[in-house]
Structure 1
Amino acid sequence: MNGFGDAPIFLDVTRLLHRLTRGRRPTGVDRVCLAYVQHFHHRAQAMVIWGGVALGFSPSASVAIFDWLAGWEDGERIISLASPLGAVLKWPLRTVPAGSWVLNMGHSGLDQRSYHGWLRRKNIRLLVMVHDLIPITHPQFCQAGAAKRHAQRMGLILEQAEGIVSNSRHTAQMLDDHARQAGALVPPVAVIPLGAKKHWNVCEDAPGAAAGPYFVMVGTLEPRKNHAFVLHLWQRMLDEWRAADIPHLLVIGQIGWMCGGVVHQLRTDERLKQVVHLITDCDDARLGHYVHHAQAMLFPSHAEGYGLPLLEAMDLGVPVLASPLPTFHEMAGMVPDYLDLGDEDAWLEAILDYAQPASARREAQLRRLQGFSAPRWADHFTEFENFVSRL
């Protein structure tokens, strides 16, 4: 069933084009947006928020933009995309017709008054995804002003959205709590898990990033991800353990915000650099290689709305040591080893154990992983289309 009827469908690509043209690699939110690009490639037109105004591209320009965004996701070099994409972005833009469906999965413009007015004037049927409420619930881990902007986004979503997709029951509960505190009603919500990557083109001839056993952390460097905690663990290893017992750590992710101290430590502490390796520009093939051969992925986050790296590590059959967040329990059940962030010794004990060639604890998680099945994007979009048909 086509729940969209005959109304035009516009897919907001503002965030994706902004990041692509600045030479960034896709983050977790970007990859969710890109999954929607792939699914709606031949059914939707691209739109952007430009100077506070919503404008759409023609069908032919939209197909070209979607193709280049697919190349960006697949790791094609930014320089090869920039010139033709720049030409397309100069093509004429047009207004989005009244009564259109707009899919805004990256939150572009949702904190702007002009967007609010446009939705009302044009009777736009807005579909959004709420990824998390972390700037509101955990402002200490976010940039100045993030909590206010996110509250404005949530206010607009609660007032204007035709339907909301939530990536987890935990996120949906946080949204419900926020709405209740704000005295707002919640539009129809569908909790639909995000999909794991369908296949990893693991580059088996990738250069070895570490000699001997190693662990990985994957994600943008920002305070919420808790890199400082893990670096402290490795400092303790250097101070307390025999050198032969210290595994390596690959910190894989782009430089984010409020992480200057962590980045400085990673780049200047010569002793730490012998065992901890910062990789800020890693394509999917190398990432798949590094994760696939790791002893485990470390995920000591303070807060998460979902956690795609954790899901995809498990989908590759790689064990995970994680903080006991509600969303992790929802996604992964009792497969990972959950460790309290207040217990450094427990983390050190687990890392030492998992680094051993015959770790009974790691083998136990590998057995649990055999019964784990990650969600797929195909299932996500089946549920999404069913949700739209009920609106």
Structure 2
Amino acid sequence: MFDISRLLRSRNRRFATGIDRIDLAIGLDLAERFGTNCHFVHAGSLGTSLLPMAIGKAILDFLDARWNRQETADLSRATEARLVLELVLGSVTLRKNSCIGPDMTYVVASHSGLGKRPGSMERLDPQKRMRRIVYLHDIIPLEFPEYQRPATRAEFSGYLDEMFDTPVKIICNSDDTANRIRVLAERQRWRVEDLTVLKPQLVANPVPAIEPRSEVLKFLCDERPFFTIVGTIEPRKNHLLLLNLWREFVSAGEAPRLCIIGKRGWENASVLDMLDRCEAIRECITEFGDLADYEVQLLMKDSEALLFPSFAEGLGIPILEAAALGVNCIASDIPAFREVAPPGTIFLHPLDGLGWKREIYSCLSRDAQHRRAM
């Protein structure tokens, strides 16, 4: 029983987050291996619903086409209508369903779904006969609540309480995340049956012969060098460091461009003020909030380097993407990045502004020398 709640909610996104990607990969794998024995559960505004295998698989295939194969697939109106009907009927089906037992395993890979609704697991499996496998991407809301929305820590704690009131198998994305979870599990006295690390591995998909949108094409046609940063604009991603550095670059008359790829998130007043109101950096900063995967690849491949100055991460999918594309990377010196970054990555403290400035200039200098040699 795979919890498809987050993926169903994300079905209209063109750009998948790291959690979305892992969630989808696990769902596709389960559907392929278990076939008609793979069921799908959804927690939404209409209650908890059990979706037929055909509907759940259709959602997975649709997102696989959109996010991974770069196909411009759309759910038809008929499919959407059928989906809503199945959600309504599924709420009834699930409450009366008799398949919940020791042969059923509930799998959630999204920090979402039934665990976000207090009492959902109790209603689904009151006798706690069903096995549980929970994929944890990080425990950042507990360790670094200052980077989250005010309510996030309590919501995440509630999710964990809902999921870990019975023996559970845990899967996580890195050794660093696993070590942090072991400490938390011991402190919370969770009954952990097993803790497994499954590190995602990325292979660059061939870029389809699709012309990117005009804004991306215009950006790529500009021959001035640029750097990329990929991820939701939120405090722990440390965009503010780069924006202040770019202001210095402009003052010095030596400003490359900065391409910010990711939607605007939360608790970002200072960052958004600079993006919206700082005239000095306006000509050299470009935001793309909702790109298709192939457009992200095109931008990353043409950039001088990926910049990743985060304060905290569970893994760092953009580093894996940069490695798959052969793109240079300058990243924060944090354990998760040390674990997955390819050889040649430059590591810096996320507050070492002078170090970041030095390495960005050095990267530009090396590229200029390479172009002259050609």
Q: Distance in 2 between matches of 1:336 and 1:360?
A: 20
What whole-Å deviation, never above 9, does each CA across 1:274-312 have from its counterpart, x for those lacking one?
111111121111111000111100000010000001111
Cα 1:59–1:263 shift into 2, 3 Å? same
Which residue in the other structure is 2:184 paired with?
178
Q: Residues 274-285 of structure 1: matches in 2 within 5 Å? A: 274-285=283-294
Q: Distance in 1 between matches of 2:127 and 2:204?
A: 40
Which residue in the other structure is 2:136 paired with?
130
Which residue in the other structure is 2:109 paired with?
105
Which residue in the other structure is 2:16 paired with?
26
Indicate whether 1:67 and 2:26 are aligned. Answer: no
How many residue pairs match? The answer is 347
Residue 113 of structure 1 deviates from its aligned partner by 2.8
Q: Residues 285-364 of structure 1: matches in 2 within 5 Å? A: 285-332=294-341, 335-358=344-367
| Contact 1:52/1:109 (8 A) holds in 2 | no
Q: Distance in 1 between matches of 2:265 and 2:71?
A: 22
What whole-Å deviation, never above 9, does each CA across 1:253-273 have from its counterpart, x for those lacking one?
012112243234223333312
Q: Distance in 1 between matches of 2:78 and 2:66?
A: 13
Q: Distance in 2 between matches of 1:335 and 1:160?
A: 44
- What's the Cα RMSD here? 2.5
| Contact 1:300/1:323 (8 A) holds in 2 | yes
Which residue in the other structure is 1:270 paired with?
279
| TM-score normalised per structure 2 | 0.85
Which residue in the other structure is 1:13 paired with?
4
What whole-Å deviation, never above 9, does each CA across 1:213-248 have from its counterpart, x for those lacking one?
110000111111111111011011112x22xx3211
| Contact 2:14/2:67 (8 A) holds in 1 | no
Match of 1:141 among 132, 143, 147: 147
Paired letter, 1:220: T
Q: Distance in 2 between matches of 1:348 and 1:56?
A: 52
Paired letter, 1:199: N
Q: Distance in 2 between matches of 1:287 and 1:26?
A: 11
Paired letter, 2:201: G
Q: Distance in 1 between matches of 2:116 and 2:211?
A: 45
What whole-Å deviation, never above 9, does each CA across 1:322-366 have from its counterpart, x for those lacking one?
1101011111265310012232111111101101254789xxxxx
Q: Which deviates more, 299-308 or 170-179?
A: 170-179
Q: Residues 197-236 of structure 1: matches in 2 within 5 Å? A: 197-201=203-207, 206=212, 207-209=217-219, 210-236=222-248
Paired letter, 1:147: R
Cα 1:41–1:218 shift into 2, 3 Å? same
SS at match of 2:170: strand
Q: Which deviates more, 10-19 or 204-213?
A: 204-213
| Contact 2:234/2:268 (8 A) holds in 1 | yes
| Contact 1:52/1:112 (8 A) holds in 2 | no
Match of 2:43 among 42, 49, 53: 49
Higher relative CO (CA 8 A, sep ≥ 6), structure 1 or 2?
A: 1
Indicate whether 1:165 and 2:171 are aligned. Answer: yes
Q: Distance in 1 between matches of 2:61 and 2:352?
A: 47
| TM-score normalised per structure 1 | 0.81
Identity %, equivalent residues:
25
| Contact 1:203/1:285 (8 A) holds in 2 | no
Q: Point out where structure 2 has 5 or more consecutive residues left out of the alignment.
A: none
Which residue in the other structure is 1:255 paired with?
264
Indicate whether 1:87 and 2:89 are aligned. Answer: no
Residue 116 of structure 1 deviates from its aligned partner by 3.2
Residue 203 of structure 1 deviates from its aligned partner by 6.1
SS at match of 1:150: helix
| Contact 1:219/1:254 (8 A) holds in 2 | yes
Q: Distance in 2 between matches of 1:332 and 1:270?
A: 35
Cα 1:229–1:315 shift into 2, 3 Å? same
| Contact 2:14/2:291 (8 A) holds in 1 | no
Q: Point out where structure 1 has 5 or more consecutive residues left out of the alignment.
A: 1-9, 362-391
